[in-house]
Amino acid sequence: MRNKGSLRTEEPILDGKLSCDYLVLGGGTAGAVVAARLAEETEAEVVLVEAGPSDEGDWRVLELWNWPNLLGTDFDYDYTIEPQERGNSLIRHSRGKVLGGCSSHNSAIAFRAPDYDLEVWERSGAAGWGPEGTRPYYDRVFDRVHVETIPPDNTCTAAFVEAAVQAGYPLIRFNEEELREGVGWLQINARAGIRQSSSVAYLHPLGRLPNLTVLTETRVLRVLLDGGGEAVGAETSRGTIRARGEVILCCGAFDSPKLLMLSGIGPEEHLREAGVPCRVDLPGVGEHLLDHPEGVVIWEASRPIPPISRQGWEAALFARVDPASEVPDLMFHFGTSAFDINTSQLGYPSAEHAFSLTPNVMRARSEGFVRLRSSDPAAPPVIDFRYFTDPDGYDDWIMTEGVKLARRIAEQPALRPWVRRELAPGPNVRDDGQVSEYARRSANTVYHPAGTCRMGAPDDPAAVVDPQLRVRGVGRLRVADASVFPTMIGTNPCITCMMIGEKCADLVLGADAGTLQPRELAR
């Protein structure tokens, strides 16, 4: 390898080829962790490939408060979705196109996944991914990534927290106790207003690891397989990169299945239709697309909203709507602005001073899919979430109840003085049918796509990767990102994606989490 540890932004690979021991494709939330850990724990040569630019020294990315201004820019893939039968077809799915991926592009809300969800993972065939098997890796993330609890400085947000308590929800300390019904101030992976993305926490300063080469602004076109069906490298926009060891795909719930399919790994009939020769018929690639569909209720404030805020969304409420559920099934984020990205397109009014509650379905049952648009790597994938199409109407019901609960919270004595009027859906939308229609038509996403390379037992024909994250039917190829989620978790998934990166590195190296000892990190 030449120029070890260098950051390349425009420089071509002059000889057209580069070789390494481990090739990590995608420098996002999980990929940055995988690459850094492999380079720290071994003397192996590691190459990390990222399509976007570096975030180092770029305050547009590092300043957490600026995150909404990154949406729809060159830092964003800004994917559109297919027309939705029952949901909002205008949703645009932002995906970070920058080193650190969506952890460089989000509001930095930091949660461990609830034990309940990890137990479901393990029962569904993801052996070793239950609470005990993942806890050491969450601990590593929290040791490495600075996480802090937002102080209760914003008086409007504090009024919401008090109103939720008045409505019967106890105060809880997120990540310090097991998730249950309640309200609390969020934890964020930030330090003094500067985001602590996977890139910041694991890669900066770039060049600190002499055996890690980071290639930015380099698109991956396809994974290369040899005649025996083993991954041997990747074709990129700046030449071929060969891997002597393993290739780890970390491109997220849209682009990891897309790259597998472009490489001939996926549903055979679809690959044939897209003009891609099928190397491995793997029907589960691109299936099982999950998300947290999100509604919104917006109120104009009776007074100016205090500008004191880390990122505009500082508190959350977890509630249980279904009496048969063991755990909360509805999550709210509270925002100190008019979250009118979709309501304004439908003609609803907005206001300069406003606040919003966003009920979202923690474990939505509707599933969609990702497909190739063509065999052209530059073509965006076909993305169809099929929002609110689960046969029992569960997602619709949870969302409708969420809008009603949001209104009850706003009527509590602590928050009521802040309300001038309800902007969306407005006072004329009252019965369940009207609320459902509004919630689905104006729905947004919490930008949490997952599940399209689902992890499962080695003999599960619907699974794409096994519990070691190895792609079924392909040698020396793993996937490590939100696409491997067996089921949706109930909280924001960023920290869980970092946890997957931590565990993936150990799986590649054959380490045993049961014998983990604290390690001195190269910084």
The catalytic site residues sit at: 448
Q: Which residues of 47-63 are buried (b: 16+ CB within 10 A; e: fewer)?
A: bbbbbbbbbbeeeebbe
Q: What phi and psi, each to the nearest 5 degrees, are found at residue 180?
A: -150, 180
Binding residues: 98, 220
Binding-site residue set for FAD: 98, 220
* Rounded (10°) angle between helices 432-441 and 394-410: 100
Joined tokens for residue 302: 């009776």
Tokens of 410: 């706003």
With residue 32 as reference, give the H or E element that holds it. helix 31-41
In three-state form (DSSP H/G/I as H, E/B as E, the rest C), the secondary structure along 442-465 is: CCEECCCCECCCCECCCCCCCCCE
3-state secondary structure of 417: helix
Torsion of the alpha carbons at 59, 350, 348 and 394, rounded to the nearest 10: 60
Q: How far is CA 71 from CA 8, 49, 100, 447, in A?
A: 25, 22, 15, 11
| Measured distance CA(272)–CA(394) in Å, rounded | 35
Sequence-ordered list of residues with C-beta below 8 angstroms from that of 109, at least 6 positions apart, any chain: 186, 187, 188, 313, 316, 333, 492, 494
Cα pseudo-dihedral 217, 219, 223, 226, rounded to 10: -80
Owner of token pair 């996480």 = 147
Query: What burial class does residue 69 get, using C-beta atoms within 10 Å of its C-beta: 0-12 exposed, 13-18 middle, 19+ buried?
Result: exposed
Residue written as token pair 């040899």:
226
Residue 2: how many other CB atoms lie within 10 Å: 9
Q: Mapping DSSP to helix (H, G, I), strand (E, B) and coil, where does residue 83 land?
A: coil
Label residue 277 exposed, middle or buried (CB < 10 Å: 0-12, 13-18, 19+): exposed
CB 298 within 8 A of CB 354: yes
3-state secondary structure at position 15? coil
Nearest to 201 by CA among 29, 7, 24, 447: 29
